[in-house]
Amino acid sequence: MIKCLHCGKESWLIAESLGICGDCIRKDFEEVLPYIKKAHYGSRDEFGLPREPPQDPTGIACRRCVNDCVIPLGKRGYCGLRQNQEGKLLGGSKNEGNLDWYYDNLPTNCVADWVCPAGTETGYPTYSYSKGPEYGYKNLAVFYHGCSFNCLFCQNWHWRDGLNRKKHVTALQLAQAVDSRTACICYFGGDPTPQLPHALEASRLALEKNKDRILRVCWETNGAMSFSYLEKMAKVSLISGGCIKLDLKAWHDELNIALCGVSNKRTLENFAQLSSWVEKRPDPPFLIASTLLIPGYVDEEEVSAIAHFISSLNPNIPYSLLAFYPQFYMHNLPTTSRSHAERCKISAEKEGLKRVRIGNLNLLSNAY
């Protein structure tokens, strides 16, 4: 049991790193903000990352994401990847990808596998090789190091260990990894945002080389990139039959800051913008939303508000509710319970969403 440092409530559903319950974050944000900052500062100090997005008036501006870092000489941006070296902004160019890649046999455990061409009959024959799951084909999974958020619950927090690697993968080298059995490319991480020029160039080269066959380009992201990059990503996915899987981590901005260190305003703005593209290609789905159900923090209240937002834009947008597994700085929390997930699904459907799914069923516990 952890006691909330603000209201004194004791619960198993309070992250030890924060020491603050979800209700206090939403209701008394300014009062509990020092605790939130302490947790995030500690998680970033451990890896030598800047505590806040730098805003040095003598630095170089990076306009790639919501953080709008102005990076001082010899220092890194908030993502940990972009660096000001000798007055030049390095990291994340189209020819220096800091990443790992591998093949994933289709159908795979993807946020969108229940609505995408790799796992269903949707998109066939224009965007899919099979009238059903694409057995025998594979996905090129591209894991980018670096992230514009600082999620205390990060399921892939090990990207921080890859930031200082000297070996890089060029866009051409990555594009050449696409072989005759590769049906799709998925960029994730970390987050692809800090390295979008690299991903976009690799996509261009791969699509050009494979212009006479199906090759979908997909993204899994927090959605906090600048609009100019968002538009380029959308165009690539739209024409290739791919999708954008956008993670809506919380509805209340205060909770997003507490959990992820960064505001969700840009994410929500970008999601709304992407929703206007949905009808340009209804099949297969162009935009998919997901939310990680973090016990004690992302509850029915959050999910209901997120679902209302999505439904107001387009009730046909698929929404995936993902089970949480304790990781990183929220390691003391339990996994998502089945009842928690089911209540959230009901809440989302009550808001008018027509396609809601609980993912990662194997992680659900039977606790209340």
Residue labelled with tokens 């890089």: 168
- Show the DSSP H helices in the chain as ranges: 22-27, 29-45, 171-175, 196-209, 227-240, 253-260, 265-275, 300-313, 338-350
Whether the CB-CB separation of 45 and 38 falls below 8 Å is answered with: no
pTM of the model: 0.96
Q: Using alpha carbons only, what angle is made at residue 154 by residues 346 and 114, rounded to the nearest 5 degrees?
A: 45
pLDDT tens per residue, range 52-111: 999 999 999 999 999 999 999 999 999 999 999 999 999 888 888 999 999 999 999 899
Complete DSSP assignment for 45-98: HTTT--SS--B-TTSEE--SBTT--EEPTT-B-TTSS-EEETTEEESS-TT-B-
CA–CA gap between residue 245 and residue 235 (Å, rounded): 14
pLDDT at 368: 53
Domains of the chain, by residue range, sit at 1-46, 51-91, 99-363
Whether the CB-CB separation of 80 and 49 falls below 8 Å is answered with: yes
Element (H, E) at 245: strand 244-247
Helices (H) and strands (E) in the chain, counts: 9, 14
pLDDT at 362: 87
pLDDT tens per residue, range 37-56: 999 999 999 999 999 999 99
Whether the CB-CB separation of 95 and 171 falls below 8 Å is answered with: yes
Residue labelled with tokens 């009062």: 31
The average pLDDT across 201-209 equals 98
CA–CA gap between residue 361 and residue 368 (Å, rounded): 15
Question: Does residue 367 surpass a pLDDT of 90?
Answer: no
CA–CA gap between residue 323 and residue 325 (Å, rounded): 7
pLDDT tens per residue, range 160-198: 987 877 678 999 999 999 999 999 999 999 999 999 999
Whether the CB-CB separation of 232 and 192 falls below 8 Å is answered with: no
Name the phi and psi angles at 119, rounded to 5: -115, -5
pLDDT tens per residue, range 223-271: 999 999 999 999 999 999 999 999 999 999 999 999 999 999 999 999 9
Q: What is the 3-state secondary structure (H, E, C) of 166-186?
A: CCCECHHHHHCCCCCCEEEEE
Percent of the chain with pLDDT over 70: 99
Question: Does residue 2 surpass a pLDDT of 90?
Answer: yes
Instruction: Please check whether the domain covering 99-363 is classified as CATH 3.20.20.70.
Output: yes
CA atoms within 13 A on the CB side of 168: 18
In the chain, the largest separation of any two C-alpha atoms, in whole Å, equals 63
pLDDT at 165: 72
Does 133 sit behind a cis peptide bond, omega within 30 degrees of 0 on the bond before it? no
State the chain's mean pLDDT as an integer: 96
Whether the CB-CB separation of 305 and 255 falls below 8 Å is answered with: no
